Structure 1
Amino acid sequence: MEEEIQDRREGRGGVEHDGVAAMEQAFVDTVIPPWWRQITFRAMATSLLLSIVFNVIVLKLNLTTGVIPSLNVAAGLLGFAMIKSWTVLVEKCGLLKQPFTRQENTVIQTCVVASSGIAFSSGTGSYLLGMSPKIAALADAGNTPNNVKPLSLGWIMAFLFVVSFVGLFSIVPLRKVMILRYKLTYPSGTATAYLINSFHTPKGAKLAKKQVWFLFKSFIGSFLWACFKWFFAAGDGCGFDSFPTFGLQAFKQRFYFDFSATYVGVGMICPYMVNVSLLLGAILSWGIMWPIIESKKGSWYSADLKASSLHGIQGYRVFLAIAMMLGDGLFHVVYMVIVTAKNFAKQQSDKKSLTDDADENFDEKRRTEYFLKDQIPNTVAVVGYLTLAGISVVLVPVIFHQLKWYHILLAYTIAPVLAFCNAYGCGLTDWSLASNYGKLAILIFSAWIGQEHGGVLAGLVSCGVMMSIVSTASDLMQDFKTGYLTLSSPRSMFFSQVYGTALGCITSPLIFWFFYKAYNVGDPDGAYPAPYALMYRGIALLGVEGFSSLPKHCLTLVIVFFVAAVVINLLTELLKKYETKYKVYRFIPSPMCMAIPFYLGAYFAIDMCVGSLILFIWEKKNKKQAKNYAPAVASGLICGDSLWGVPAAILALAGINSPICMSFSSGSGS
């Protein structure tokens, strides 16, 4: 689910447009700085620091379980805290020249989210890592020189710079149509704008200070707890990360609580049903299916295969997870295309102009005025897209000889259409399906090119090209919505995206390389198993080999789980549409979420359910306090635990190991 918590921002932060609009009156006497003064040196410096922090967080989540929550709230809150602290200090010295505005806060948040978005779309925990010899060896099949590329910091950084900026220009000409004419809500962008607006009102500023204090306390506690755990983790299977909470037999089936503050925090941010779905998936797979299939060893698959072979038990784990992901992804792609087409046709039939509302209120007029004030010429967007796409068509085949120029040209020809569908659908539902478009690209290009010509590697590269464009387009439109609601200039928003993307193209590979050299990244039983790397390579193998690569009876199970994912999603959507009294659809698990533990086990799902339990109890005791401070506490838990990974990696590179190994064995000695 590397994608799906990131892609489907099903968080609790959604707000109604009117709730945000009512706040605009508080800023009627505030001077709005011109776009170039919204981009300050202190904002750029703060964005750089926070980009490093958030890239570490996203990378660690990518390399552990792939479950990434929306970090927009944390970015806005930390940006406010850092600049507000600085301006208060400078003001006391009598040196403050420019007050801290919500526009500057929006610029910081946009930069940080754009940068951490590269950590997601760069594929360092999925398609890009899946190209490496280590993951190819785990996959067993397709491990040929033409389908493997040793990782190097140089070509990774070059590839990201070549493909990451194209998507910024693909959707810019449609910004007025999306935001003003169709009035798409973009719930995450709206919620972020609400947060920033509230920070900069007198009452909101007081609340923000308390939120910062909660975040700081949980950050320090999380960091110190991670440091304490390190002392007991001298070897594999040691420490609190391998604590057999429910007994040794349950531990062997990967059912235990590993005391991870990161995933407790993630669980507090994610909706309850996401966490329950993860736990149900773990029970179904590790509690029921895998023990049954393992009992067929020697019959369904050879008993002599190594544990990581995709022709053995690992094949069932990986390909059944892939089947559910593809079923879920394909359903939502088709569903989103239908929803987009219907809504687009309806909007066209209404023939609304940009400002034809007779009763348009003061706030909307003011926002429209500033949104239209600093425009980005469409010619700049078109020329920018064509130029950058042309550079990619030339340079991507140089980096990856398996792909030809016409493959990349075709990808960039259809990408703007997919980018529009994704950005439009995201505006309606808050779902970005970038990773699903990427998976489809893997299947199409790997099958087209074939294994003997490097189809596995080519499919993974095409995934990166497609994901970079489609993901960036929806993120940019979310930020335009945030900018519209905070009276931030479209030019400052676009510049922030470009700057944040550039930061991401530098910091994301560097941080990944740091972890890659310090730890055994990709080891299924290690601290950083990077599950999506093997899964994405498995999708490419399906593309080049077809179903012949599956173990015995695996195809039957793949079809069953693929159909089940489609049926579950179809049932959910039908209940949403026709069943209103009991809202049963809220209790139907997500197939995508259920698929994640198929490979990893239940430990992180248990962590996240603990986070949900903490939030549930907190809401029962004081719902208002939980609503105000739970996101800040969760963000602190994630930041503190994740940042400990940096000094831990430095110690590992220096050859300094933990002094103690805390491990457990059966009292009977068996």
Structure 2
Amino acid sequence: MPKEDRDSGGEAVGDEDVAAVEKAFEETEVPSWQNQITIRAMLTSLLLSFVFNVIVCKLNLSTGVIPSLNVAAGLLGFAIVKAWTVLIGKCGLLKQPFTRQENTVIQTCVVASSGIAFSSGTASYLLGMSPRTAAQADTGNTPINVKQLSVGWMIAFLFAVSFVGLFSIVPLRKVMILKYKLTYPSGTATAYLINSFHTPKGAKLAKKQVWVLFKSFVGSFFWACFQWFFSAADGCGFSSFPTFGLEAFKKRFYFDFSATYVGVGMICPYMVNVSLLIGAIFSWGILWPVIESKKGVWYSADLPGSSLHGIQGYRVFLAIAMMLGDGLFHVVYMVIVTGKSFLQRRSQTSLLNESTDGQIANFDERQRMQYFLKDQIPNTSAVAGYVLLAAVSIGVMPQIFHQLKWYHVLVAYIFAPILAFCNAYGCGLTDWSLASNYGKIAILIFSSWVGLENGGVLAGLASCGVMMSIVSTASDLMQDFKTGYLTLSSPRAMFFSQVYGTAIGCLFSPLVFWFFYKAYSVGDPEGSYPAPYALMYRGIALLGVEGFSSLPKNCLKLVIMFFIAAVLINLLIEILKKYETKYGIYRFIPSPMCMAIPFYLGAYFAIDMCIGSLILFIWEKKNKKKAREFGPAVASGLICGDSLWGIPAAILALAGVQAPICMKFLSASTNQRVDSFLSA
């Protein structure tokens, strides 16, 4: 799934697949937890965190579809430190070899930092508070429900809420990893990747992957640079190329030559990309033309295109209906699965006795158990840390958001650990993190509680940040503990790197966002960075404070239909998963969440991603082994190169430097009129 519902980080790799590798490291000394956290690891993490924050920010602001970047983080971390150690080793100055534990620390830190870029809400709930987004929503556009964005309060907000979640789940680490042996597919896959990098055979493959990634990165960067020269104004350049004709272009069906989303499409599962395209065809090809034919009947013909009381309202609220239907289904389903699994496990044999090696299956398990239990984080420290940080947040939040009272924040922090456990446990079973869904539920509850006149829109959006930060961070940390368990990395080193990465993310995420916010018209539905989730999250808050009175005519009927349809589609998928196993029909049913994303944006990025899927599909048909080995490296290079061009492009925009050429496409009749005008 795209990261709007935090996705799988890669293919699930069972414990038995990873177990065999421990023998290969039998003669390798495991460094102490202090030596796993090196200066070179911290500097590498800092550099890669900046790169990944730029990537995630750009993806957030353009479409909101973010693939897992775990593989790229692990691979780039390996490449940078390995190159440094080889260079220092040739000079005879190498004091400490590069270990898989150090690689794990880097990967954990970078993913934690880029995770903050997602959960920080700079492209969703925080941007939804801004006057730019409020102006599109019409209703609720009052001073008490709008907040001017600034770097200062955004950084303060993130530091106040982002660390609490780290302490909420720490006391349960042994229960999750050792007692219940939860899989955490992304964490397991990442551990498998890092372990393979540091075996002799894996190191050779990693070097080839790094070279492929570098070539892909350079090509993508210079392609983005080349495109810039033709984009002197809005609607110019390759990003506005009417691939399927001008009429299709008006309906947002075109290929925009984005290397980023071609790369994203190579990483995301095929059905995600197909679901996006199906959603785009259904909405922009069928549904919106039908509703637009009711202009003047269902809604006023005089409304601007961005008004939520016009066609834009149908686009936004029907997308919200499908997202809420999908999200609520998965929340309820996950609670049922979690509860059932939890009760079953409690009735089985309890935790493996830490002091009895006779119960430990083999050498690999003994090694992992030993190092996982070696450097413990006291539970009292974790509980004290949660209480202290929650108290600080309860004091700080009302100072930033006057609409949110201290008792609102207290209620959120009372229930958050329960939701964090549910999310972390469910993520261990299925690799689904439902952080954004818990955030949307929080918006509805708190915005309704505070009310429109008292600033309920802002209160709901701010409470979303509190809930998302805790729930998302908790599942991420448990994934990292699983990775550390399988790479013999110290839990203390894992926790420290998570804290360090979170701190970097709290600083970099607002700064990178502010850079884009000042350089481009972020939030403009017709611009390069429409930030679709900002208006959608504000729309959810408006539903909370105003109920359904804010919807255009007949929109409520459609909202109910689409909500029910999303629930039924998910129910059908789960039933087929359980009872129809011969043909795997459920694999061909589109995801409602993915279908909803293009309702607002159109098909252009879905076409990009489907082209990425097509490239990978053809590659797998020709050489499946090479496609599996080098596909993620090519995709990561495409994403990194194209995204990083955004930095020099933004600098040029801030400096007032325009591209020299405007490449624009006109119909033949329009072109004749332009020629006649110019020759007159």
Fold conserved between structures, TM > 0.5: yes
Q: Paired residue for 2:286?
A: 288
Q: Paired residue for 1:37?
A: 35
Q: Paired residue for 1:306?
A: 304
| Deviation at residue 352 of structure 1 after TM alignment | 1.9
Q: Paired residue for 1:101?
A: 99
Residues 591-635 of structure 1 show CA distances to partners (whole Å, capped at 9, x for unaligned) of: 000000000000000000000000000000000000000000000
| Deviation at residue 99 of structure 1 after TM alignment | 0.2
Equivalent residues in 2 for 1:642-653 (5 A)? Answer: 642-653=643-654
Select which of 170, 176, 199 maps to 1:178. Answer: 176
Contact 2:10-2:185 within 8 A present in 1 as well: no
Task: Write the distance in 2 (CA, Å) between the matches of 1:51 and 1:12.
Answer: 20
Q: Paired residue for 1:401?
A: 402
Q: Paired residue for 2:364?
A: 363
Equivalent residues in 2 for 1:178-327 (5 A)? Answer: 178-327=176-325
Letter of the 1:559 counterpart: I
SS in 1 for 2:492: helix
SS in 2 for 1:560: helix
SS in 1 for 2:669: coil
Q: Paired residue for 1:130?
A: 128
Distance 1:359 1:180, change over 3 A: closer
Task: Write the distance in 2 (CA, Å) between the matches of 1:630 and 1:317.
Answer: 35
| Deviation at residue 6 of structure 1 after TM alignment | 5.4
Q: Paired residue for 1:412?
A: 413
| Deviation at residue 82 of structure 1 after TM alignment | 0.2
| Deviation at residue 359 of structure 1 after TM alignment | 5.9
Query: Structure 1: where are the runs of 5+ without partners?
Result: none
Letter of the 2:164 counterpart: V
Task: Write the distance in 2 (CA, Å) between the matches of 1:149 and 1:435.
Answer: 22
Q: Paired residue for 1:338?
A: 336
| Deviation at residue 353 of structure 1 after TM alignment | 2.0
Residues 147-192 of structure 1 show CA distances to partners (whole Å, capped at 9, x for unaligned) of: 0000011000000000000000000000000000000000000000
| Superposition TM-score, scaled by structure 2 size | 0.97
Q: Paired residue for 2:641?
A: 640
Distance 1:6 1:315, change over 3 A: closer
Task: Write the distance in 1 (CA, Å) between the matches of 2:631 and 2:6.
Answer: 20
Q: Paired residue for 2:612?
A: 611
Residues 13-40 of structure 1 show CA distances to partners (whole Å, capped at 9, x for unaligned) of: 2212111111111001100000000000
Distance 1:154 1:359, change over 3 A: closer
Q: Paired residue for 1:83?
A: 81
Task: Write the distance in 2 (CA, Å) between the matches of 1:408 and 1:352.
Answer: 36
Task: Write the distance in 2 (CA, Å) between the matches of 1:319 and 1:6.
Answer: 17
Task: Write the distance in 2 (CA, Å) between the matches of 1:86 and 1:6.
Answer: 36
SS in 2 for 1:70: coil
SS in 2 for 1:453: coil
Contact 2:4-2:436 within 8 A present in 1 as well: no
| Superposition TM-score, scaled by structure 1 size | 0.99
Residues 48-90 of structure 1 show CA distances to partners (whole Å, capped at 9, x for unaligned) of: 0000000000000000000000100000000000000000000
| Deviation at residue 7 of structure 1 after TM alignment | 3.3
Q: Paired residue for 1:15?
A: 13
| Deviation at residue 10 of structure 1 after TM alignment | 3.8
Q: State whether structure 2 residue 143 is matched by structure 1 residue 145.
A: yes
Q: Paired residue for 1:471?
A: 472
Contact 1:10-1:270 within 8 A present in 2 as well: no
Q: Paired residue for 2:439?
A: 438
Distance 1:359 1:473, change over 3 A: closer
Task: Write the distance in 1 (CA, Å) between the matches of 2:589 and 2:9.
Answer: 17
Identity rate, percent: 80
Q: State whether structure 2 residue 112 is matched by structure 1 residue 111.
A: no
SS in 2 for 1:398: helix
Q: Paired residue for 1:532?
A: 533
Contact 1:6-1:69 within 8 A present in 2 as well: no
Contact 1:182-1:347 within 8 A present in 2 as well: yes
Q: Paired residue for 1:592?
A: 593
Contact 2:175-2:351 within 8 A present in 1 as well: no
Task: Write the distance in 2 (CA, Å) between the matches of 1:507 and 1:404.
Answer: 28
Residues 417-460 of structure 1 show CA distances to partners (whole Å, capped at 9, x for unaligned) of: 00000000000000000000000000000001100000000000
Residues 464-513 of structure 1 show CA distances to partners (whole Å, capped at 9, x for unaligned) of: 00000000000000000000000000000000000000000111111111
Contact 1:10-1:271 within 8 A present in 2 as well: no
Contact 1:129-1:533 within 8 A present in 2 as well: yes
Task: Write the distance in 2 (CA, Å) between the matches of 1:213 and 1:391.
Answer: 47
Letter of the 2:614 counterpart: L
Task: Write the distance in 2 (CA, Å) between the matches of 1:485 and 1:43.
Answer: 19
Residues 280-315 of structure 1 show CA distances to partners (whole Å, capped at 9, x for unaligned) of: 000000000001111110000000101100000000
Equivalent residues in 2 for 1:150-165 (5 A)? Answer: 150-165=148-163
SS in 1 for 2:51: helix
Task: Write the distance in 2 (CA, Å) between the matches of 1:664 and 1:454.
Answer: 45
Task: Write the distance in 2 (CA, Å) between the matches of 1:443 and 1:600.
Answer: 24
SS in 2 for 1:552: coil
Contact 1:389-1:412 within 8 A present in 2 as well: yes
Count of residue pairs brought into register by the alignment: 668
Q: Paired residue for 1:58?
A: 56
Task: Write the distance in 2 (CA, Å) between the matches of 1:544 and 1:161.
Answer: 28
Equivalent residues in 2 for 1:472-621 (5 A)? Answer: 472-621=473-622
Moved more, 9-18 or 309-318: 9-18
Task: Write the distance in 1 (CA, Å) between the matches of 2:3 and 2:380.
Answer: 35
Task: Write the distance in 2 (CA, Å) between the matches of 1:506 and 1:153.
Answer: 9
Letter of the 1:425 counterpart: G
Letter of the 1:81 counterpart: A
| Deviation at residue 241 of structure 1 after TM alignment | 0.2
Task: Write the distance in 2 (CA, Å) between the matches of 1:359 and 1:230.
Answer: 59
Task: Write the distance in 2 (CA, Å) between the matches of 1:25 and 1:351.
Answer: 28
Residues 90-136 of structure 1 show CA distances to partners (whole Å, capped at 9, x for unaligned) of: 00000000000000000000000000001000000000000000100
Letter of the 2:374 counterpart: K
SS in 2 for 1:142: coil
SS in 2 for 1:451: coil
Task: Write the distance in 1 (CA, Å) between the matches of 2:4 and 2:235.
Answer: 30
Letter of the 1:375 counterpart: Q
Task: Write the distance in 1 (CA, Å) between the matches of 2:481 and 2:76.
Answer: 21
Letter of the 2:35 counterpart: R
Task: Write the distance in 1 (CA, Å) between the matches of 2:152 and 2:10.
Answer: 40
Task: Write the distance in 2 (CA, Å) between the matches of 1:162 and 1:337.
Answer: 28
Query: Structure 2: where are the runs of 5+ without partners?
Result: 672-680
Q: State whether structure 2 residue 378 is matched by structure 1 residue 377.
A: yes
Residues 558-599 of structure 1 show CA distances to partners (whole Å, capped at 9, x for unaligned) of: 000000000000000010011110000000000000000000
Letter of the 1:26 counterpart: A
Letter of the 1:637 counterpart: L
Distance 1:6 1:75, change over 3 A: farther
Q: Paired residue for 2:675?
A: none
| Deviation at residue 351 of structure 1 after TM alignment | 3.2
Contact 1:226-1:644 within 8 A present in 2 as well: yes
Distance 1:645 1:495, change over 3 A: same
Contact 1:11-1:269 within 8 A present in 2 as well: no
Task: Write the distance in 1 (CA, Å) between the matches of 2:396 and 2:222.
Answer: 46
Distance 1:114 1:6, change over 3 A: farther
| Deviation at residue 358 of structure 1 after TM alignment | 3.6
Contact 1:54-1:112 within 8 A present in 2 as well: yes
